[in-house]
Amino acid sequence: MFHCARKEALMLRSVFIGIGFSITGVVLAQPVTSNLLPRLEPEFRKYDQNLGSLQGIGTGFDVSGDVAVFSGDNGMGNRGLWYSRWDPGTATWSDLISIDPTLESRIGALGSSAAFDGTTFVVGDAIDDGAGPNPPVSNDFGAAYVYRYNSGSDSWSRELLMTPNGPEATFRLDAGGQAVGDNYGTFVAIDGDYIAIGVPGRSTEEGAVITYVRDNNLGVWQLFDVIEADEFAPGDGQAGERFGSAVAMQGTTLCISANRDNSSTGSVYFFERSGSGYDSMGGQKIPSPENIAFFQFGQDLAIDGDTVVIGTAGENTAVMTNGGRAYVADRNGLGVWTLSQELRLPVLEPALDPLMTFFGNTVDIKGDLIAIGAILNEDGQTQNGNVFVYNRSSLGVFTPIAQLRTLAGLSVGGLRFGADVALGDRFLLAGEQNNSLESTAYLYDLFEATGDSDCDGNLTDDRADILAGLQADANDNLVPDTCEGFVDCIADINGDMVVTPADFTAWINAFNTSPAACLP
């Protein structure tokens, strides 16, 4: 779909880029009036009518390239996994297609977490009881499921976990290691051949993270390493810290939060993978920058390259209650992580932050964009929620560029929009979690927020296509030649609609990239 909002969005971007100030090395995002932000409406809506009410598919989703994945559970045994594909020809996402029509019915919370890297889909169920479809007691052991996507055949296959008792189709702690309240699958992460699964309830909520590696010869997953906080330092790994409450991984880097560390102020750990495991002794810990009880620094985590975005559950002070924040951490050339920026809800003054917004409860990052959910922000109705998009300037500072909302004219309150967010190459997924309505996932076109365009529909910015040599641009106007309604030949090679001697010079310079119709 072609959008004509480039100039307006770029002008808005120029207003916000570079605004900020520094306190003790951490750049604080300058608060701006939220009504200055463009308010984007969703392009597509996804929900499953068969699930009915309760959880729906407003959480537990992800998007990578031209594929979006979804999970849903109504808490009464009716659950499912679906995917949707982007069609550049029609500029639409397909209807939901079942990933596993044979998925067994169980009472749980499928979609507690989800991660998709374009090939492998991991989805957690943090309260699975591991005792058949209708267990007599609530054990909250937890479980996870892994699926492999074949883009060539447009099909999915369920992956197996090798255990001492043989291959298993459901990922769990082994029977001897399970304990009530483990909450295995509370958070999951995937990057290539490695999976990380958070088990924050393990050992009286000391917590742990279980990592797996794929045997590509056998096509199965095997245990790789178990990481516990007490391996990092003797004083870490105390009961109630919930190490593994959030995880994020990319390349050899694994980020783990313990959001209830130190009276629930929270901490985030960084580990690097070696050949045999993750180096706990060489890891790094960033404690909460605020000594506020129940701040829960590390409520959510996301990583892209040398940047991590860290969410919080909220802050309880005399000024605000659960107002929330998010933080940016950057890695320098020596591999050291430091907090570089604090992000707040975009309002006129920090002291006027609305109460109970839970800004920072969900976060994601992709390239120079960050998405942050504020599930209880009052957008028209009480607790409707919003998602805010931030863009990184050439100075490395993130500033808000868009405010996402649900469907216009929606008059009900309590939607809790922003319960989950996922950033893709072009689209952002954001979900609502309303216990009285069908929870819904929405897809938003990021190019409306950034001013980019994608006229060929390949999910990549046109300018990036040109710079990468994937598209010709004979007249140097940053629009691919294939997307223009005329052929730039020597008559007007520079696109100024006037034939001058400059056209001949431009044609000589661009000869090798000129359209075939212009070549002698």
pLDDT of residue 487: 45
Instruction: Report the SS3 class of residue 347.
Output: coil
Residue 481: DSSP 8-state:
G
315 against 417, higher pLDDT: 417
Cα-flanking dihedrals φ and ψ of residue 48, to 5°?
A: -115, 115
Question: Which domains, and CATH codes, for the chain?
Answer: 6-464 (2.130.10.130), 472-518 (no CATH)
Across the range 426-433, mean pLDDT stands at 88
**Lowest-confidence segment of 17-31, 297-311, 443-457 by average pLDDT:** 17-31
pLDDT of residue 347: 62
Q: What is the pLDDT of residues 331-381, one digit of tens each?
A: 999 999 999 999 988 764 343 345 568 889 999 999 999 999 988 876 656
Report how far residue 217's alpha carbon sits from residue 225's, in angstroms, rounded to the nearest whole number: 20
Are 389 and 370 spatial neighbours (Cβ–Cβ below 8 Å)? yes
Report how far residue 156's alpha carbon sits from residue 123's, in angstroms, rounded to the nearest whole number: 14
Residue by residue, what is the 3-state secondary structure of 415-476? CCCCCEEEECCCEEEEECCCCCCCCCEEEEECHHHHCCCCCCCCCCCHHHHHHCCCCCCCCC
Does the structure show a pLDDT above 90 at 22? no
- Percent of residues in the chain assigned helix, strand, coil, to nearest 5: 10, 35, 50
**Lowest-confidence segment of 46-50, 141-145, 253-257 by average pLDDT:** 46-50
pLDDT of residue 227: 94
Does the structure show a pLDDT above 80 at 502? no
End-to-end CA distance of the chain: 35
C-alpha angle 222-129-155 in degrees, rounded to nearest 5: 50
Contacting residues for 277 by C-beta, under 8 A, at least 6 apart: 224, 225
Report how far residue 106's alpha carbon sits from residue 141's, in angstroms, rounded to the nearest whole number: 13
**Lowest-confidence segment of 193-207, 225-239, 439-453 by average pLDDT:** 439-453
Across the range 262-274, mean pLDDT stands at 91
Are 399 and 430 spatial neighbours (Cβ–Cβ below 8 Å)? no
Q: What is the pLDDT of residues 198-230, one digit of tens each?
A: 999 998 899 999 999 999 999 999 999 999 988
172 against 232, higher pLDDT: 172
Burial of 513: CB neighbours in 10 Å, binned 0-12, 13-18, 19+: middle
Contacting residues for 54 by C-beta, under 8 A, at least 6 apart: 73, 74, 75, 76, 435, 439
**Lowest-confidence segment of 134-138, 152-156, 244-248, 506-510 by average pLDDT:** 506-510
Does the structure show a pLDDT above 90 at 83? yes
Mean pLDDT for all residues in the chain: 78
pLDDT of residue 366: 95
Interior/surface letters 448-468, b for 16+ CB within 10 angstroms, e for the rest: bbbbbbbbbbbebbbeebbee
pTM (two decimals): 0.80
% of the chain beyond a pLDDT of 70: 70
Confidence of residue 17 (pLDDT cuts 50, 70, 90): very low
Instruction: Report the SS3 class of residue 14.
Output: helix
pLDDT of residue 177: 72
Q: What is the pLDDT of residues 269-289, one digit of tens each?
A: 999 998 889 987 678 999 999
Instruction: Report the SS3 class of residue 285.
Output: strand
